[in-house]
A and B are shown apart, each in its own frame.
Chain A
Amino acid sequence: MKRVNAVVVGAGAAGGIVAKELSVAGLSVILLERGKWYTAYDCRKDDLRNQRTTVLGNAFGPEDKGNPRVWVDAQGGLHTVLPSEGPYQNDAACVGGGTFSYGAQAWRYMPQDFKMRSTYGAPEGSSLEDWPISYDDLEPFYDKAEYEIGISGDYSGTPFKGPRKRPLPMPPLPAGKEFGILEPAARRLGLHPFHIPMARNSVPYNGRGPCMRCRWCCGFACEVDAKNGSQNTVIPIALNTGNCELRTECMVKEILTDDRGRAKGVSYFDERGHLQEQLADIVIVSGCATESARLLLNSKSKLFPNGLGNRYDQVGRNLQGHQYTGALGFFDFDTYDDVGPGADIAICDYNHGTPGLRGGGMLANEFIRLPIMSIDHLPSGTPTWGLGHKKAMRDWHRRTIVIIGPTQQIPSAEARVTLDPLVKDKWGLPVVRIQGNCHPHTYEIGDIQAERAQKWLLEAGAIDTRLLSQAQNAEKVSHGADANKGLPHKSHSELIPASQHQAGTCRMGNDPQGSVVNKFCQVHDVDNVFVIDSSVHVTNGGFNPALTIMAVAFYASNALVHNWKGTGFRS
């Protein structure tokens, strides 16, 4: 196969952007994706099989057959888990990755989110660190992401944000009913509510129409293609340059290295299962935190016996994501308006600055909910089955507001991805093993966030509330998804909450002994291998990470293109 300048592994949020930036700059690029290329036509509006409620499987991959992982519970027990089960910590496997079916909240992290250690100090037992780059370094690339991907929203209502040069390219969608209920309540509490930034067209943008506000949103493909991911923005541009070729259903086996310890390409299984080699000057790994770490660990050779970039046992450590905590509020009037995306109001008052807490998180109302999501979201004391449950569904499905948010995780080096020595996937490659949990302080922050959400709901007129927090998780709050797992987890705290927001396994840093890549996402040991995706996040903010993944991808691609001189890098 023809040698190319760059091979990019994974066509998700980051991989799509890297492919576009490199191919526009004139480099020849092969973009490899293990999943398929779905389109808006694949929306299907299936309440039981999408990327959020996965009881009948993942709609956009990976499929349950042949893609196991191993989860280690708190007692050290090993469980082989399916991609549609919670402990798998899945992110979608398709062109666009998670951005094809995400809820599309597109947040900038705050300046403090890049300086967690110097702001708060690292608690005992944590691996809390500062990023080697700052908000100011990323600002131009946040801006680029907002305009090239297409973000709607309005930050003007919040003073809690980093400096920005211009407003978002699109106005927010018209406010829904929940916004009208929650906004005045937040103001009465002295908070600063505003419109959530979303990678969703509110007006025609980038040649596609606006959101039609249906009920099937977060976790689904957008039926009218108004949700902006890499699959309908940057990847088509990359392909249009003529410099980029996308190969789908191609699973990369390993990164190949030469005798001098430089990468010479990758080997992969094509869509028919045949092993192929693609030689390239540069290899960019963009497979999301769990799979990127797995690929590096699977790339063993004489010079790299423990995996590429893993000389100091750093690959796979500091796995993070987000714990979601908040509260349910029950009202004596209809709060449901059947208008998607549902989530439209947020506050950033609690992200930083609470004495005694190392960070916090954004709080927002939840996406529009389908009936199946309400079955365990009823007032405390409701019977879990029988006539009482059926009546409660009628009473409360249209009268519930959920306020919830991602809590800033305090990372731990013991939360990690390794290779399982026994279990293999359908290609015969060792699979991901997930073990450990984030630092317990994370859960203390989460519990306080839940109380804050509850207070907001009560101010808005809720007649009853229920906390969705660590303590309450013990009594099992699920989206109807966890019940059939047959797994012995009594409390969610046993599970590291990573999933779609997974991050941190190939930490960015200046010290080669404490990180995997340098501040340009270049692997310390091997100068022509890059990891560009959420794996490099040192900490993961109190926000949905998609826009930051995109901004880091634009930033790292920019550095890569500028330092590339045809056959090697400028020193």
Chain B
Amino acid sequence: MAVKGWHRAQDPALLVLTSLAAGPMHGYALISDIEEIAGVVLGPGTLYGVLARLEQDGLVEALPADDRRRPYRITGAGAAALRERLLATSAVASVGLRRLGIAPT
């Protein structure tokens, strides 16, 4: 599934989907998790801009709010898009690392 804007490295949408692959999370948990896994500090405006776009594309869905905190979870289409993107990235990464003489971990 082709999703607009997926070609950029460190794409916030890719980071959000990767984070949500671990399970449903609310906004603050997402920001903390992304900072931990990628070292990228997302602003609240950026995060909700990405969530709105992913929700519109049907890649994530909002769950019922729990005390003003609304968790989000990845949909089937979102998981498929993430898998496709990560496989493509990992194939390129393997070739790049091999050509640089570094064994992929």
Same complex = no
